[in-house]
Structure formats: C-alpha cells, structure tokens
Amino acid sequence: MKTTFIKAVIASVALVTVSACSDDNNGGTSVDKTLNAEVLVDFSSTIAQSVYSDLASETTTLYNQVLALETDGPTEAELTACRTTWKQAREAWEQSEAFLFGPVSTDNIDPRIDTWPVNFTDLDAQLNSEAEFTEAYIDNLEDALKGFHPIEYLIFGSDGAKSANDLSDRDLEYLKGLALNLKTLTADLETSWATSSGSSYYVAFSKAGDGSSVYPTQLAAFEELVNAMAGICDEVANTKINEVYQAQNPSLEESPFSKNSITDFTNNIKGVQNVYLGKYTADGKGLEDLVRAHNLQMDGEIKLKMTTAITALGNITDPFGQAITSQPIQVQNAVTAINELKSLLENVLLPFVQQHTN
C-alpha cells in the first residue's frame, strides 16, 4: 500500500501499433514551442492550481464542520455533513494524483495525508493516551495515523454506520487535530502552485525551458507530466485494485469505511483525462491539442482508452471490498483496461512528446 511516494512507473511489455506514432500530415518532426508553452501554462493554472484550490477549500470546510461537531455536541446532521465534505475533498485529491510531482512529492505531503490501511492498534493507543492533539503533535505522528483515512474511520466507523452518539470526546479531540493538519497541508499545496507567487511551482513548471530552475527544457516538464499520468494508472490497476483482489483481503482497500474506493479509483483516471484534455472547471490547452496537431488517430485512441477504463470501473457496482469476490470479472476487466491505458501513455504518448518538445 502507499506509504511514501507513488510507485515508480513499471515498464509495460505490451506492444502498441506503430501506426499510432506517425504524424498524419507531417513527414518529419516539428516542435511548436508556443503551443507547448501554452499547454504547460494552462496545466499549471487550469488544472494544478484549480484542483489544489478546490481541495484546500473542501478541507477547510471539513475542519469547520468538525469544530461544529465538537462545539455543538455531535448531531446526525453535522456528522452527515462531515461525511459529504470528506468525499468531496477526496474527489479533488484523487484527481490531483494524476500529477503527483512538485511539492506534493518533495514535501512528502502525499504520504502524510493519504496513507492506508489505518493502523488500528496504534490509533486506539492514541485515543487511550493522555496526549494533547495539537497541530505539531499530529504532524509528527506516523503517516498511517493522520490524514484522510483516520478521519474516514472516525466519522464513518469500521462498518460505515457510526452514529453521532458513538463519537466520544476523545474521538472529537483527535478528529479536530487531524482535520486541522489536513487543512494546513492542503493549504500548503494550494499556495505552492499559486499563480500570484513568483516563487511558486507554477512558475517552475509553466516556465520550463524559459529560465525554470527545475525544468531546463520543455521536454523535461512534458516527460514529468506523462510519467505522472502513467504512474497513477499503474498504482490504480496494480496496487489499489489488483493487490487487494489477488490477496482477497478487503482490509487492504483504500477507502473501506466510506465505501468510496471505486469512486476514488475513477477520480484517479478522471484526473488523467483532465490533464490530457487541459480541462477541469475551465477548458485550456492540453496534451490533446499537441497530439491533435499531428496525429488524430492517436488522439482518438488515447481518449477511447480513457473512456474504456472509466466505464470498466463503473461496471463494478458492488463496494470494492465485496466486489473482489462477488464481481471478479468486472474487477479484472478494470485492471486490464487501466493497464492498457498505462501502456498507451508509456509507449505512444511519451515517445510522441519526446519527439515534439525539446
């Protein structure tokens, strides 16, 4: 399971048709630096900055709702509101996993907010301790004791049916500390890509090949982007889904208490789709525009593989922990579809961007 960084992209042995790599109307290699720069700028603002802004907004709302739980005395309505906001924050976070580079990686924010499975023994020890759950104390805990999933456990319960009356004072104290830490770290992510800051990662990425301190060439930025897209496909197919399926062990799944795992996986692939299209809440230039300028067939194949993977996940209608035994064909079909998308990204899109950027 995830404990540090996203797993390295595994080289695929699948072969992809050579025809997809050729330019439709261009016998040689061409580099459009202007279009490439537009893609990098629009990714940085339309995708990265916007997704992280939504994530920070949702986790702020979640923290305020947790405060209300503690202050007012927990009610079912307040607990339901926390659960809804937790899922909304997960939507933004899981879509952001299509680009797990920059501060989310270098500052170890990914494992600090999204490590699973929950360590129940140590979590119970924390609840039974006399520790004061200050922000510093929470931040110094091991990764499996903070972030999204201990919050998930506390607000949903082990069976997803926790009631407001089940929340002890100690639960609420820990929950408040966890929610504050999550709010702080996601706010850091938003700031790290802020378009208004001259020192942000937005500048480092969008200015690739034009004075960037991180990316000396546009090629380096495009390789980072495509490798991240392929990387999350690898993690979803081969870690999040297949490792749990092969072990037949639902306790290893990512979001078991909320029954949100399939939604998490789907948002991971939707994040890849967002990056390719250059589209989140607004529509900008994306990898799609670069590919379509040279090879319409490749563009169609990539979009089809993305749609097929999302559809395959949607065909898993039981909660994932149940589906690994009740819907094995659908689970395996999802693994296959996502791995086929990964292979296309690695073996077709990556060589393409290496050819058309510098």
> pLDDT, tens digit, for every residue of 265-310?
999 999 999 999 999 999 999 999 999 999 999 999 999 999 999 9
For residue 215, the SS3 value is coil
In a domain, residue 195? The reply is: yes
- Domain assignment present for 325: yes
CA distances from 181 to 36, 59, 101, 146 (A): 37, 10, 21, 8
Considering only CA atoms, give the Rg of the chain. 21
Q: Identify whether 9 is part of a domain.
A: no
Between helix 261-277 and helix 296-314 the angle, nearest 10°, is: 170
CA angle 215–220–224, rounded 5-degree value? 105
CA distance 324 to 332: 9
What are all long-range contacts of 243-248, with beta carbons under 8 Å and residues at least 24 apart? 243/1, 244/320, 244/321, 244/324, 245/324, 245/328, 245/331, 245/332, 245/335, 248/324, 248/325
Q: List the alpha helices (DSSP H) in the chain.
A: 33-42, 50-72, 76-96, 103-106, 109-113, 120-127, 135-139, 148-156, 169-192, 201-206, 218-235, 242-247, 261-277, 287-292, 296-314, 320-326, 328-344, 350-356
Classify residue 283 by its DSSP letter. B
Domain that holds residue 132: 18-356
Q: Indicate whether 11 belongs to any domain.
A: no
Please answer whether residues 209 and 358 qualify as being in contact, where contact means their C-beta atoms are separated by less than 8 angstroms. yes
Residues whose CB falls within 8 Å of the CB of residue 116, separated by 6 or more in sequence, listed in order = 1, 2, 144, 149, 253, 254, 255
Give the Cα separation of 291 and 313 in Å (integer).
26
Please list the pLDDT of the chain residue by residue as tens digits (358 residues): 554 434 343 333 333 333 334 444 444 468 899 999 999 999 999 999 999 999 999 999 999 999 999 887 899 999 999 999 999 999 999 999 999 999 999 999 999 999 999 998 999 999 999 999 999 999 999 999 999 999 999 999 988 899 999 999 999 999 999 999 999 999 999 999 998 777 799 999 999 999 999 999 999 999 999 999 999 999 999 999 999 999 999 999 999 999 999 999 999 999 999 999 999 999 999 999 999 999 999 999 999 999 999 999 999 999 999 999 999 999 999 999 999 999 999 999 999 999 999 7
Residue 13 lies in a domain: no
Residue among 43, 11, 71 at smallest CA distance from 238: 11
Give how many domains the chain has, as a whole number.
1
In 3D space, the residue among 286, 259, 224, 225 whose CA is nearest the CA of residue 90 turns out to be: 259
Within-domain flag for 213 = yes
Q: What is the CATH number of the domain that holds 307?
A: 1.20.1420.20
- Which residues share a beta bridge with 279? 283
3-class state of residue 249 by DSSP: coil
106 domain-assigned? yes
Calpha distance 213→211 (Å, rounded): 6
Q: In the beta sheet, which residues pair with residue 283?
A: 279
1 assigned to some structural domain: no
**DSSP-derived secondary structure letter, 237:** I
SS3 for 102-124, per residue?
A: CHHHHCCHHHHHCCCCCCHHHHH
Q: How far apart are CA 155 and CA 79, in angstroms?
A: 7
User: What distance in Å separates the CA atoms of residue 309 and residue 313, rounded to the nearest whole number?
Assistant: 6
Please state the φ and ψ torsions of residue 295, each to the nearest 5 degrees.
-155, 95
Q: Quote the DSSP letter at residue 24.
A: S
Residue 29 half-sphere exposure, CB side, CA atoms within 13 Å?
Answer: 11
The number of beta carbons lying within 10 Å of the beta carbon of residue 282 is 11
